[in-house]
């Protein structure tokens, strides 16, 4: 699942779990836990302090990952 799709689902379900995602730090951590380990490791050490910063960095990371895969495919 793409990061943007995960974000949509995460936000769509947030109102069901308000007791879990009460503040910005909890929201950020809950979002991180749903990401693939590869992304999660990078983002935890990235210094992002808010959910929006994590999301922004995750989208960039995903785009870079897609571009790297395309580049590898072209090289054979």
Give the number of domains in the chain.
1
Question: How many other C-beta atoms are found inside a 10 Å radius of the C-beta of residue 5?
Answer: 9
pLDDT digits (tens, 9 = 90+) for 25-66: 888 998 999 999 989 999 999 999 999 999 999 999 999 988
For residues 7 and 57, the answer to whether their CB atoms sit within 8 Å is no
Identify the domain containing residue 62 by its residue range.
3-14+22-75
Which residue intervals of the chain are DSSP H helices?
3-14, 24-33, 37-44, 51-75
The pTM for the full model equals 0.79
Cα(53)–Cα(35) distance, rounded to whole angstroms? 14
State in Å, rounded, how far the first CA of the chain is from the last one. Answer: 25
Q: Which two tokens stand for residue 29?
A: 């951590």
């Amino acid at each position: 699942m793409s990061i943007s799709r995960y974000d949509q689902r995460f936000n769509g379900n947030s109102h069901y779990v308000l007791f879990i995602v009460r503040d910005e730090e909890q929201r950020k951590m809950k979002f991180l836990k749903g990401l693939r380990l590869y992304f999660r490791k990078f983002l935890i050490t990235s210094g992002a302090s808010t959910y929006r910063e994590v999301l922004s960095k995750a989208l960039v990371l995903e785009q870079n990952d897609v571009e790297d895969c395309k580049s590898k495919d072209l090289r054979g």
